[in-house]
Structure 1
Amino acid sequence: MNQRDLNSGKADGKDIRKIISGYLKYWYFFLIGICICVGLAFLYLRYKAVPQYRVNSTLLIRDKDKGEGASNFESFGDLGLIKPSRNVQDEMGILLSVGLMEEVVRELDLQVGYFLPGQFDDVQVYVKDLPIIVNIIDSSIRPGTSLAIKLRDDESFQLRENREDESGNFTVHRFDEVVQKSYGTFKVKRNTDNPVSKIEGTISVEIQAVESMADIYSSKLSVEPVNETGSLLSLSLLDPLPERGKDIMKKLIEVYSEKSLDYRNQLAMNTINMIDERLALLTDELTNVEKNVEDYKQRNELTNVSSDAELFLRRASESNSQLADYQTQIDVLNSIESYLQEKGDNAPLVPSSLNIEDPTLVSLISRLNELQLKKRSLLRTTPGDNPLIVELNQQLADLRTSALENLKNIKGGLLIAQRNLRQNSRQYEHQVRKVPAAERQLLAINREQSTNQDLYLYLLQKREEEALALAAPISNMRIVDAPRAGGIPVSPNKTSVYLGALIFGLFLPFSVVYAKERINDKVQTRMDIEEYTDATILGEIAYNKEKEVLVAKEEKSTPVAELFRLIRFNLKFVSAGRKNKTILITSGSQGEGKTFFSINLGSSLASSGKKVIVLSFDLRAPKLMRDVGLSDEFGISNYLIDDQLQVKDLIIPSPHSDNLFFIGSGAIPPNPGELMLNDKIGVLLKELEDEFDYVIIDSAPIGRVADAFALAPCADSTIYVVRQNYTKKSDLKIIQDILTNNKVNRPMVVLNGTKSKEAYAYGYGQKQAHISRKTVNA
């Protein structure tokens, strides 16, 4: 039989439903965890959590406007003195800077926090909702200072230095009075927008460092571009007091705009001062340059020397160009001459005269090429000594001589013209060199004069632009959406908090149960058996709630009795027609219920009409006969040592069933291990097999002693009893070892003492019993 579980087949993996049911049995833990966590979440949201409101605003940063002078720093950029950044990302960094937020904190006195008594804790309020305002005079006041203020009347108030010190004494002060203490100097003013009668009780005041408050609000501020290509910025701020958040956002935008304008105005003033200084220097330089030009022309008696020099240069350039043309023609003539000097039948054709415009030479070359082509044509069909060929050779020689003579005359004329032109070119160059080098100095002076003049005009223009920008400053920022606060808090998110509490309320019991199951080394379910061994699982026996040992009686239909009947069927099914008369019952240790199982399995088999005998072979700690209420005076140990005793002398019938019989263990021997090796055991079992349909052996625990192994060869099958929440998982390795090494015949496992619904057959036993009673009554 290859099945591990006769009821459900071989398990390929863990049954998810069983895993879930293993946790559902602790449903009350999960319910308690959920109730506690959700309750704590409710208390946190109701009394501890501080609602946060989001304040939003939208700004437009004009970073590429033209013609604004100092507003977009064009003057400095053009002068190359500074490269101002007009990037939207840089403006975002400025808005998020802690330094800018420190200015906001100082101007709004945000380092001073106000609190009123609440139901469970003090509640923070905004200064606009209070009748008083605390002004810090000494900027070095100690951070963490706390005050308690009670209003007396319209003119005075009471002050206590530590708001948490209930035993402290109050001192009386008047409004607008400068209060000097060891921790700093301050004064309390009346807030005329709120009458004194509106506030009753103590107003708590906490003073923090400006830097720490700036860090807090900077971390709550978010600046992001509305889109990737535009210059719109979205500003967002979280604050528990929406009115305070709006004031912070407004003041931040105001301070940012003022700082930007101050920086641009300062930059414009510095630019104007620098331009004025530079203009003064340029004025002196221009005067000196103009005087130098005048003196130079008078000294060298110059009018317009540059135009004469240009004429000489042009003529020299023309002469050089003609010289190049002549040289090209001479080179062409030299090339033609080389062609004309080649003779013979394979003499190449003379190329055209190219740019040589002599008609005689052109005519001679053309006639020479014609005769050469004619000669080549005749040589294909006529021998070289033919009179026609000889005559053509004579004509070709005459033509070459004439062409060479003509070429020589042309070439001589070109050389003469080239020589004369070269002489003229030298004269022009000499005339150019005669132009005084001082002319170049005059050009340099004029160039300096022009540069200074252009720079002077440019600086005048920029100075006017900076002056106009300073007179009418324009901010590069425009408010698109004014700061406004949402009416619904965005934090804490109640849905998220309750969902987190629900998840944690489930996770905490789950973790405890999981840890408990992981730490528990006892067998809990059938899956534990399947995990450690491949042996066949014969079935499960429900926990016996009754006090009696014999529960599988014929007249009973309890869940335990029904499960024994199911195991009886499985035992028959697992035999599959093979011999299975002798069944060895064992376990890993005492207390796992092997004796209880042996008795009731025998009773269940007997109720089916089979003749069954149960043997108490646990010679070390016998309890079978005591459990069934029979005498254990004579038994197996007596039989093994006394040859006079017969097997029939040991058999005791059961008082509960006609087909059930027992054999006790007898007196406890001093050497049970050696006694188990007695050959009479085989004789005993053979005689019992001949007389009974089933022989059930209740042996000693196989995990503690070797007695059961001595009986194993005589048994057709072995049932290993495992008890829920009692047998250690490590003991299951014994079963796998037995199965792997074939130490016993057909090992099977029974899970005893289970409390799951599956073990109770989902109430089938009770229902069946009810039907049986109805049938009997009928």
Structure 2
Amino acid sequence: MYPNTPQVPNGSPSQFVVNQEDEIDLKVLLFNYLQYWPLILLFAFLGLISAFLFNRYATPIYKVESTVIVEDENASLGADLFASAGMMGLQGKSNIENEIGILKSYTLAYSTLQQLDMNVQYFAEGFVKKSEIYGNVPIYVRVNWDRKQAVGGLFRLEVLDDNSYELSIEENEFQLFNPADPNFKSVLDELIFEPSIFQFGDTVRTEVFEFSVVKSSAMPEEVIYFRLIDTPSLALKMVSDLSVAPTNKQSSILTLSLETPLRRKGIDYLNKLQETYLQRELDDKNRTSENTIFFIDQQLSGITDSLRGSEAKLQQYRSENRIFNLSQEGSVIFQRLQELEKEKGLNEINLKYLQTLRDYLASGQTGDLIAPSIVGTNDPLLNALVQSLSELQADRVRLTANFSESTPQVRDINARIQSTSKALQENVSSAIGNTQNLIANLNGQIRLIESEINQLPETERKLLDFTRQFTINENIYIYFLQKKAEAEITKASNIPSNKILDFAKSGQLPIAPKRSLNLLIGLILGFIVPIGFITIKDFLNTKIEDPKELEKQIKVPLIGMIGRNTAEESIPVLNNPRSSVTESFRSLRADLSYLSPQKDNLTLLFTSSISGEGKTFVSMNVASVFALMGKKTLLMGLDLRKPRIAQDFNLTNDVGMSTCLSSSKPWQEVVKPSGYENLDVILSGPIPPNPAELLLQEKFGKIIQEIKQSYDVVVFDCPPVGLVSETKELFALSDVNFYVFRQGYSMKGNTQILNNLVEKGGVRKMYGILNDVHIDKGYGYGYGYGYGYGYGYGTNTYGYHEEVQLPWWKRALRRQK
């Protein structure tokens, strides 16, 4: 059991000790960071300053918003029936997800930007950086986008006077835009363009760009920067920046938002985007009316010729035969025949439309469908099918402009188009059969009337035939004119189903930078950076720093800690008896009475892993502290390779232990007085060629036995056991062995050397000492902790030894304790 370790009461669990250890470790961690408090405060201050400067010079970002309401069209009766049959989509035309995809489509953004003048960005020089300007710009750059242009780089324009300017390149990061292949740009390694002077309005032309500059409000010596951006690249950026989302899950109102440093630019873009969106919808609706008018015009061109021909023949027959009106009997027959012919003509038009519709469906040309109601087909289901198919096809065209065929939206609408087209084909086939049967029935009735016509006089019969042909063509012509007028009225009255609810508007305050949040982040980073650095430094540190960590790593008790010797004396026990370092050696001497009790003579051995860890310093002062007690003490320098004791005692290393072992000279003749009472020294002597063999002689063991009989305390200053082998043989000659570590110097891996000595070497009575303790790792450690291993001693115990002034925060914490 370690000395001065708190004991656990009998029968009580060991949880008290564990909790105490955890508390101490937390304090160790806290004090480890607190020793760097100036650095932490400095970084926290720098973090706040950085956040303040970022808030001061960062470009403010504003949020521009507008809203669009997506409305459903009232479905017809046939559409309701069709939907109840499960053939139409779940949401019909007004699919919110589809409308969001259309608003965020590249095609819509491209069409919008073609109507705006945003392909040139203008910048003004600021205090820290260049800021973009929009609207009231001092110059205007007109670009010829019909030829290749260097885009992406930054031009610098300095106004010389009212008529001229100097043009140069500020940032040479250009790409070559080719209008023949607008979606792919090649990188220009470096655009060579020497600063040149031009006149306002003149064309600046090179191999890779062509534009002219017009002065608006620029003043002499004013500097303006500008950048050319092609429309495809700008469209991609606007699509990326635009956000579209419904106001809530149940709402059909879409909110369009754009974050931009230029509020006016964002407002202009969103407003034009909404206008383009509604215009595209209106164009889709008008396309049906235009197709209908085109179809009717084609039919009218044929009917007009037939009408003119039949009219001419009728007039000619009347003139030649001088007959103008039918008899009463002929008029009745003609009226009956006219009604049947009119009905037959309408059904033939309907049949022709159905056959055309069937051919369209068979060929997949569903983009030019004409509503059946235009040609007189009043079947509600057929009308609903054609309308639904046309709307689905229009939605597909808009979606495929922004999404690939593999996306869920496009796959869903393709499935709906296929289902609707199949249902329409079945309905058209049935309608064609019904119409053909009706026309055959009408032909039978016409043949019966024609038999009655054959009973009329020949002249009247021929007049009736000419009048009949003319009337048929006239009725069809009038019918098509009526339908054309209806289609034109429908086109003129078309309005978009969706509406702009709110035009674009911007908030008065920027959404970024978030000043309070940035200050908080700067402060947090100011703490995190140094703490992280300290943590990483400690994690990567291979030196022994923390006494508690050393205590856990070694398999022997850590008997004491020696503070850093700040004085110039190498033997503070003799030369500075009131220092805290001297008190730590006195505490170590007191502990030795427990380590080796009831012994009049005591032999102590000091070693370490490597040179420089302070074993000679510790051995000299331990020998001195026993001499001050009145014990007859001998300090033996057994480090025959690198002796040091002589210079610390101002002695000459002319004779010593190497002299005795290599000659017949008795050890009594090499003993030298140290200059202090009760303390003698045997130096190592001249460095021999075989130090290990000398110490392993039987003669050395006899000398040690004689010395023990002559002195009360014998102290061995041995060479580092981690470097030489002879020290291992000396452990058998000592009563207590000490392994010296040095804080901030000894490697953590050196603890394994000590553990091997204990576990494999069989060394007994081995204890650890931590020398040069100067890094405070927590309350209770530090300079004054090492009086033995007790917790109750401190550096400010007034009247017992010289004080070591602690930092103010340590004194405050100790008072609270």
Do these two structures clear the TM 0.5 threshold for a shared fold by scoring above it? yes
**Does residue 1:493 correspond to 2:519, yes or no?**
no
Cα 1:768–1:741 shift into 2, 3 Å: same
Q: Contact (CA 8 Å) 1:6, 1:539: kept in 2 or not?
A: no
Tell me which of 571, 586, 590 is aligned to 1:569: 590
Aligned residue for 1:170, secondary structure, equals strand
Aligned to 1:223: 244
The structure that has the greater radius of gyration is 1
Structural mapping, 1:663-682, within 5 Å? 663-682=682-701
After the TM superposition, which residues 516-527 of structure 1 pair with which residues of structure 2 at under 5 Å, given as runs?
516-517=537-538, 520-527=541-548
Shift in alpha-carbon separation, 1:575–1:464, aligned structure 2, 3 A = farther
Distance in 1 (alpha carbons) for counterparts of 2:205 and 2:688? 102
Contact 2:158 2:224 in 1 (8 A): yes
Is 1:484 aligned to 2:505, yes or no? yes
Q: Among 154, 171, 176, which residue is 2:198 paired with?
A: 171
Is contact 2:68-2:498 (8 Å) kept? yes
Aligned equivalents of 2:104, 2:261: Cα separation in 1: 20
Q: Is the 8 A contact 1:133 1:189 kept in 2?
A: yes
1:412-442 CA deviation, whole Å, 9 max, x = no partner?
xxxxxxxxxxxxxxxxxxxxxxxxxxxxxxx
Q: 1:294 to 1:576 in 2, by over 3 A?
A: farther
Counterpart selection for 2:752 from 715, 723, 733: 733
Match of residue 234, structure 1, among 255, 259, 272:
255
Decide which moves more: 732-741 or 476-485.
476-485
Query: Is the CA contact 2:157–2:168 (under 8 Å) kept in the aligned structure 1?
Result: no
Greater alpha carbon shift after TM alignment, 564-573 vs 104-113: 564-573
Give yes or no for contact 1:606–1:612 (8 Å, CA) kept in 2: yes
Query: Is 2:576–2:582's contact at 8 Å kept on the other side of the alignment?
Result: no
The Cα of 1:640 is off from its aligned counterpart by 4.7
Residues 1:655 and 2:664 aligned together: no
Question: How do 1:515-664 residues align onto structure 2 when only pairs under 5 Å count?
Answer: 516-517=537-538, 520-527=541-548, 529-530=550-551, 532-553=553-574, 556-575=577-596, 581-630=602-651, 635-640=656-661, 645=666, 651-656=671-676, 658-664=677-683
Would the aligned equivalents of 1:616 and 1:698 in 2 still touch at CA under 8 Å?
yes
Write the distance in 2 (CA, Å) between the matches of 1:68 and 1:173.
62
Task: State yes or no: 1:760 paired with 2:783.
Answer: yes
Structure 1 residues 172 and 747: alpha-carbon distance in aligned structure 2, compared to 1, 3 A threshold? same
Equivalent residue, structure 1, for 2:123: 115
Contact 2:545 2:775 in 1 (8 A): no
The within-5 A match list for 1:262-411 is 262-270=283-291, 273=295, 274=370, 275=372, 279=376, 285=436, 288-291=439-442, 294=445
Aligned length: 599
- Partner deviation per Cα, 1:1-37 (whole Å, 9 max, x = no partner): 3579899999978934434544554555545555555
Aligned to 2:358: none
What's the secondary structure of 1:108's corresponding residue? coil
Residues 506-515 or 614-623, more deviating? 506-515
Name the counterpart of 1:698: 717
What letter matches 1:551 in structure 2?
Answer: P
For residue 761 of structure 1, what is the amino acid of its counterpart? G
What residue ranges of structure 2 are gaps of 5+ in the alignment?
9-16, 172-192, 296-369, 378-430, 450-479, 787-792, 804-817
1:553/1:600 Cα in 2 relative to 1: closer, same or farther (>3 Å)? same
Equivalent residue in structure 2 for 1:18, among 17, 28, 48:
28
The normalised TM-score by structure 1 is 0.65
Task: Check if 1:718 corresponds to 2:718.
Answer: no
- CA positional deviation for 1:225: 1.5
Corresponding residue for 1:391? none
Equivalent-residue separation in structure 2 for 1:720 and 1:462 (angstroms): 112
Instruction: Name the TM-score, length of structure 2 as normaliser.
Output: 0.62
Aligned-pair Cα RMSD in Å: 4.7
Partners of 2:79 and 2:139 in 1: how far apart? 45
Alpha-carbon distance, 1:77 to partner: 9.2
The change in CA–CA distance for 1:116 and 1:645 in structure 2 (over 3 A counts) is closer
Q: AA paired with 1:56?
A: E
Greater mean alpha carbon deviation, residues 604-613 or residues 556-565: 604-613
Instruction: Please give the alpha-carbon distance, in whole angstroms, between the structure 2 residues aligned to 1:157 and 1:73.
Output: 68
- % identity of equivalent residues: 29
Cα pair 1:54 1:237 within 8 Å, conserved: yes
1:576-600 CA distances to partner (integer Å, 9 max, x unpaired)? 7789822111122333221211110
Q: SS of the counterpart of 1:552? A: helix
Return the offset for 1:236.
1.0
Residue number in structure 1 paired with 2:314: none
Give a deviation string over 1:74-115, Cα, whole Å, max 9, x none.
999999999874210000001111111112222121112122
1:645 deviates by 3.2
Q: Distance in 2 between matches of 1:512 and 1:473?
A: 69
**Counterpart for residue 377 of structure 1:** none
**3-state DSSP of counterpart to 2:714:** strand
**Alignment match, 2:492:** 471
Q: From 119, 129, 137, give the equivalent of 1:130.
A: 137
Secondary structure class of the residue paired with 1:553 = helix
Secondary structure, counterpart of 1:471 in structure 2: helix
Q: Supply the AA of the counterpart residue of 2:103.
A: L
The answer on 1:51 being equivalent to 2:70 is: no
Aligned position for 2:268: 247
1:102 equivalent in structure 2:
110
Task: Read off the aligned partner of 1:223 and give its amino acid letter.
Answer: V
Kindly tell me: are residues 74 and 147 of structure 1, through their superposed partners in 2, closer, same or farther at Cα, counting changes over 3 Å?
A: farther
1:266-296 Cα deviation digits (max 9, x unpaired) = 1344367433785499898576233356499
| 3-state SS of paired residue (1:621) | coil
3-state SS of 2:573 partner: coil
**2:384 paired residue number:** none
For the Cα contact (< 8 Å) 1:558–1:766, is it kept in 2?
Answer: no
Q: Distance in 2 between matches of 1:661 and 1:26?
A: 45
Q: CA deviation at 1:168?
A: 3.3
Deviations 1:176-223 (A, max 9, x none): x888776666666787xxxx4899824433221001111111111101
Contact 1:6 1:570 in 2 (8 A): no
Kindly state the Cα deviation for residue 258 of structure 1 after the two structures are TM-superposed: 1.0
SS of 2:509's partner is: coil
Unaligned runs of 5+ in 1: 299-458
Question: Separation in 1 of the partners of 2:782 and 2:708?
Answer: 32
Q: CA deviation at 1:53?
A: 0.8
1:66 aligns with 2:74: yes
More divergent stretch after superposition (597-606 vs 538-547): 538-547
Q: 2:535 & 2:5 partners in 1: Cα distance? A: 26
Tell me what 1:209 maps to.
Answer: 230
Residue 54 of structure 1 and its aligned partner are, at CA, apart by 0.7
- Secondary structure of the residue that 1:54 maps to in structure 2? strand
Q: Greater shift after overlay, 212-221 or 605-614?
A: 605-614
**What is the rounded CA distance, in whole Å, between the counterparts of 1:146 and 1:620 in structure 2?**
73
Kept in 2: contact 1:616–1:697 (CA 8 A): yes
1:260 maps to which residue?
Answer: 281
Change (3 A) 1:211 1:82: farther
- Specify the code of the residue in structure 2 equivalent to 1:655: G
Residue 762 of structure 2 is aligned with which of 729, 737, 743? 743
CA contact (8 A) 2:48 2:519 kept: yes
The one-character-per-residue Cα deviations of 1:323-375 (angstroms, maximum 9, x if unpaired) are xxxxxxxxxxxxxxxxxxxxxxxxxxxxxxxxxxxxxxxxxxxxxxxxxxxxx
Q: 1:287 to 1:733 in 2, by over 3 A?
A: closer
The one-letter code matched in structure 2 to 1:15 is D
